[in-house]
């Protein structure tokens, strides 16, 4: 019983910290445990384990860069190495938000997965969560829902868009192909405007897929 209670408590603590943006141990970001790395290597092989090691090395080596450099490096890092695959083909589900580890194991994902792994990588690099939003938009050219990551230096700044379709980081005002809908992060959810952050409409815990995602992430760290 005590062991079960301890495990449950750790899950709760980890989930809270993940929603806040990142986890630390000995002043270093925990992306995964050594035990998890060993499990991944045993199940998926050394090539997949090396993707996780490469990710950790990327985060460790770029802590001292400016926010702008971190945005560019992170956007390029994942746009180059991940393959876009629809959830129905990759996960046999209509809509599934993968954890960063799940995305790296598959080396693929859809727009949400690209956005999620960039978000958590940037928070692990020390970019403040208040600057970052996972933003749902309508991709006008494709007439479908799409997700991008946005970075806003201040509340009055025009957001910068990190995308897996147009791989160039551009101000939202120059992305006429995208119509903003709403955005969120670990701290809340907002209606989104083209040039500025709109009205706050609640907490991100209202988003079922986000809650399920952060719960799975906390379990990965045990």
For the stretch 143-198, pLDDT in tens is 999 999 999 998 888 999 999 999 999 999 999 999 998 888 877 655 555 555 55
Q: Burial, 56: exposed, middle or buried (Cβ in 10 Å; 0-12, 13-18, 19+)?
A: middle
Helix axes 2-20, 208-220, angle to 10 degrees: 120
What CATH number belongs to 27-220? 3.10.620.30
Distance, CA of 24 to chain centre: 17
The rounded distance, in Å, linking the Cα atoms of 37 and 33 is 6
For the stretch 19-75, pLDDT in tens is 444 444 334 568 999 999 999 999 999 999 999 999 999 999 999 999 999 999 999
Count Cα neighbours of 56 within 13 Å in the Cβ-side half-sphere.
Answer: 14
The residue extents of the domains of the chain are 27-220
């Amino acid at each position: 019983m005590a062991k079960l209670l301890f495990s449950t408590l750790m899950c709760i603590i980890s989930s809270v910290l993940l929603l806040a943006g990142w986890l630390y141990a000995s002043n270093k970001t925990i992306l995964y445990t050594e035990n998890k790395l060993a499990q991944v290597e045993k199940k998926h092989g050394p090539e997949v384990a090396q993707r996780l090691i490469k990710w950790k090395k990327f985060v460790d080596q770029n802590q001292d860069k400016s926010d702008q450099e971190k945005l560019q490096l992170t956007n390029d890092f994942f746009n180059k190495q991940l393959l876009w695959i629809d959830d129905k083909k990759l996960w046999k589900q209509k809509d599934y938000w993968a954890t960063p580890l799940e995305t790296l194991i598959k080396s693929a994902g859809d727009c949400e997965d690209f956005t999620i792994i960039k978000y958590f990588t940037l928070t692990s690099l020390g970019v403040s969560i208040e600057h970052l939003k996972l933003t749902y938009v309508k991709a006008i050219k494709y007439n479908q829902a799409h997700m991008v990551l946005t970075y806003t230096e201040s509340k009055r700044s025009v957001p910068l868009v990190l995308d897996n379709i147009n791989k160039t980081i551009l101000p939202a005002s120059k992305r006429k192909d995208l119509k903003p809908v709403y955005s969120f992060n670990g701290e809340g959810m907002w209606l989104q405007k083209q040039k500025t952050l709109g009205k706050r409409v609640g907490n991100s815990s209202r988003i079922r897929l986000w809650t399920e995602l952060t719960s799975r992430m906390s379990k990965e760290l045990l």
